[in-house]
Structure 1
Amino acid sequence: MLQLGDEVFLYSVVFVVVLLGTRSPLWTAALTASLYLFLAIFRFPQVPSSRARQVLHPTGAAAGSGKVSVVAHRGGGHDAPENTIAAIREASKNGATGVELDLEFSADGVPILMHDETVDRTTNGSGPLGQMKLSELGKLDAAAKHRLREKFAGEKIPTLEEAVEECIKLQLTIYFDVKGHPDEVQPTNQTNKTRLYYAAAALKELYKKHPVLYNSSIVCSFEPKVIYRMRQRDPDVVTALTHRPWSLSRFGDGAPRFSSPWKHQWTTLMDILLDWAHHHILWKLCGISAFLIQKNFVSPDYVQYWAQRGVEVVAWTVNTEVEKQYYQELLQVNYITDSLVEDCEPHY
């Protein structure tokens, strides 16, 4: 069942808001009670804290030291072509504790590593990822647009299986970043037959094949429904929600997404509601063990807020030496970075 504590404040707010809207004490009490029962019945408990610590602090798990982990964003996209085997190897060589990898699917339903919905930005190809089969993707150069393209020329887009096997071999913790695909249906061939793209199902099969992942990986997503579906498939998997406040109304650098004042105000309101939901409902419903938050919103008080709820903060994307020292020495929280070797441009 749900614990009280700050839950009293949560349900008090819900009660007052509903009462102001309905003017009915009976309906207000009923709706507030329904919300409580919904969360009590359908929420997932957090995985044991000892195993969450083993995943989040692998180098200090045995001794319980809680050593800060450094995670290479997309494998370390500044140091090598992002989401490639080369990036994973470079991250390991440069001292990363783990790697963050983006899960996507080819047109024929094979889980692969790719951040974008098209191959244009990172490869010498062009077009939507969802319309390209694995055999077509295998012909692309994943280093074509990278600053070190000559050093890594010919690097391929790896399958999820290939990347996981490499990480296990190098003893790297994996942060699986799932963009979506909890249950969407897409065409897979010329006969217009369809196949369910279950990211959670694909990961479940991966955990079944490689049980070591239960103690060396975490599934993350900006979409709570993805994490909830993952917990439904396998409640033993360590999970995290990823969040950037004001993401609906503003870009990462703070610039408004929309020129229309009305649209901007509407999305700002949605941002407020989304942020509130993340911090009061969604994290508990999903039973997460970590909260991945854009670095500009992390403070000692914020880390303490989540620590009181048994949730660890992981900051992204920390790309300068000064910032890294701040997270390692003062905040002592894990962080995700684009480079293990030098300062680089901020990433949002």
Structure 2
Amino acid sequence: MLQLGDEVVLYSVVFVVVLLGTRSPLWTTALTASLYLFMVMFRFPQVPTSRAKQVLHPEKGAAGSGKVSVVAHRGGGHDAPENTLAAIREASKNGATGVELDLEFSADGVPILMHDETVDRTTNASGPLSQIRMSELAKLDAAAKHRLRDKFAGEKIPTLAEAVEECIKLQLTIYFDVKGHPHEAAAALKELYKRHPVLYNSSIVCSFEPKVIYRMRQSDPDVVTALTHRPWSLSRLGDGEPRFSSLWKHNWLTLMDFMLDWAHHHVLWKLCGISAFLIQKNFVSPDYVQYWTQRGVDVVAWTVNTNVEKEYYQELLHVNYITDSLVEDCEPHY
């Protein structure tokens, strides 16, 4: 739930902005009241705290004095080919609490593990997923371009069902990272939760797209969910460089970034009823963690890859983190 201060600030800001725009106290009051009623009627409540805690802070694999969950990014893409069964097994062997897995779809609608919209970066083929059927994807080598390709030669692109079964067998928490396709993803995940009820206490659905999370809560309100966010992502690349050379476009998207960030922190999290907020590591601080703790929301940082950073999150912040490697320092994926 939003704190009283949040409620007052949120609707005060809306009231002032609308008043300045319309110069009509009547319309301003009506529009602000309409927003309030919309939030009351259409927001989802958070799942019970006890179950969210079971998902976010399981005993298995907890690290440090604060029982921090260590989650392998894309299954641990530095230690094994990302988003594969080999990566899941390697993450378990190296002591991960859970794995973050990317959900995408083949041309014939089969839910699979893949981060990109094409197979170019990770396999021995090229082309968009939207044009490759599962029967063809099953023939590709998912280790072809990995640094340890000789060790994992021939590793296949797994279906979502295969990956989930492996995680359940290894007792790993699953962070489902949904890249898009809100309706298809919600339907596929709902079927998985129906087939494997253990997932309600051992998995969380995450996405950069609020509509994905809202659709998931519509489909199954008992699923634990999280919003994923990197501030200034519209105007800047992952390394901080401007995304566009045009000054006008850069400034416009910077304004959009500000509005999106404000919406995430004051409206969208409550509308979706999330239990966790996945944030790029550069924006995490003790005050930031406290901000979300007061709202009953866990912070999860990504992508934390050096030993110094890991110690900081485990021993000082006591915050869950996502990492590319359980065993080495490495460069992060954005």
Asked if the contact 1:141–1:155 (Cα under 8 Å) also holds between the matched residues in 2, the reply is: yes
Please state if 1:295 is matched with 2:295: no
TM-score normalized by structure 1?
0.94
> What is residue 306 of structure 2 aligned with on the other side?
320
Distance across 2 between alignment mates of 1:60 and 1:343: 23
> What is residue 193 of structure 1 aligned with on the other side?
none
- In structure 1, what residue type is equivalent to 2:140? L
> What is residue 148 of structure 2 aligned with on the other side?
148
Asked if the contact 2:305–2:329 (Cα under 8 Å) also holds between the matched residues in 1, the reply is: yes
> What is residue 80 of structure 2 aligned with on the other side?
80
1:259-317 per-residue CA deviation (whole Å, 9 max, x = no partner) reads: 00000001000000000000000000000000000000000000000000000000000
The one of 245, 248, 255 aligned to 2:241: 255
The one of 264, 287, 298 aligned to 1:278: 264
Asked if the contact 1:60–1:66 (Cα under 8 Å) also holds between the matched residues in 2, the reply is: no
> What is residue 344 of structure 1 aligned with on the other side?
330
Partner-residue secondary structure (3-state), 1:51:
helix
> What is residue 41 of structure 2 aligned with on the other side?
41
Distance across 2 between alignment mates of 1:87 and 1:2: 38
- In structure 2, what residue type is equivalent to 1:259? S
Partner-residue secondary structure (3-state), 1:305:
helix
Q: Percent identity, aligned pairs only?
A: 89
CA RMSD after TM alignment:
1.4
> What is residue 333 of structure 1 aligned with on the other side?
319
Distance across 1 between alignment mates of 2:333 and 2:308: 16
> What is residue 209 of structure 1 aligned with on the other side?
195
Partner-residue secondary structure (3-state), 2:216:
helix
Distance across 1 between alignment mates of 2:103 and 2:158: 11
Distance across 2 between alignment mates of 1:109 and 1:7: 42
Asked if the contact 1:2–1:39 (Cα under 8 Å) also holds between the matched residues in 2, the reply is: no
Distance across 2 between alignment mates of 1:4 and 1:41: 18
Task: Quickly say closer, same or farther: Cα 1:36–1:60, change in 2 above 3 A.
Answer: farther
| 1:6 Cα deviation after fit | 1.5
Distance across 1 between alignment mates of 2:244 and 2:211: 26
> What is residue 181 of structure 2 aligned with on the other side?
181
Please state if 1:221 is matched with 2:207: yes
Partner-residue secondary structure (3-state), 2:228:
strand
Q: Which has the higher contact order (CA 8 A, sep 6+)?
A: 2
Asked if the contact 1:57–1:66 (Cα under 8 Å) also holds between the matched residues in 2, the reply is: no
Partner-residue secondary structure (3-state), 2:75:
coil
Partner-residue secondary structure (3-state), 2:21:
helix
| 1:182 Cα deviation after fit | 1.4
> What is residue 166 of structure 1 aligned with on the other side?
166
Distance across 1 between alignment mates of 2:37 and 2:3: 12
Identify unmatched segments of 5+ residues in structure 1: 184-197
The one of 217, 223, 226 aligned to 1:240: 226
Asked if the contact 2:66–2:314 (Cα under 8 Å) also holds between the matched residues in 1, the reply is: no
Please state if 1:267 is matched with 2:253: yes
| 1:2 Cα deviation after fit | 7.0
Partner-residue secondary structure (3-state), 2:4:
coil
1:302-338 per-residue CA deviation (whole Å, 9 max, x = no partner) reads: 0000000000000000000000000001100000000
Asked if the contact 1:2–1:40 (Cα under 8 Å) also holds between the matched residues in 2, the reply is: no
Distance across 2 between alignment mates of 1:4 and 1:34: 19
| 1:134 Cα deviation after fit | 0.5
Asked if the contact 1:140–1:157 (Cα under 8 Å) also holds between the matched residues in 2, the reply is: yes
Distance across 2 between alignment mates of 1:260 and 1:5: 39
- In structure 2, what residue type is equivalent to 1:289? S
Distance across 2 between alignment mates of 1:99 and 1:346: 16
Asked if the contact 1:68–1:328 (Cα under 8 Å) also holds between the matched residues in 2, the reply is: yes
| 1:67 Cα deviation after fit | 1.1
Distance across 2 between alignment mates of 1:115 and 1:83: 8
Distance across 2 between alignment mates of 1:4 and 1:33: 16
1:132-158 per-residue CA deviation (whole Å, 9 max, x = no partner) reads: 011000110000000000000000000
> What is residue 192 of structure 1 aligned with on the other side?
none
Please state if 1:199 is matched with 2:185: yes
Asked if the contact 2:74–2:102 (Cα under 8 Å) also holds between the matched residues in 1, the reply is: yes
- Give the 4+ runs in structure 1 shifted more than 4 A: none
Partner-residue secondary structure (3-state), 1:74:
helix
Partner-residue secondary structure (3-state), 1:292:
strand
Distance across 1 between alignment mates of 2:3 and 2:214: 20
| 1:347 Cα deviation after fit | 2.5
Asked if the contact 2:217–2:272 (Cα under 8 Å) also holds between the matched residues in 1, the reply is: yes
Distance across 1 between alignment mates of 2:80 and 2:72: 11
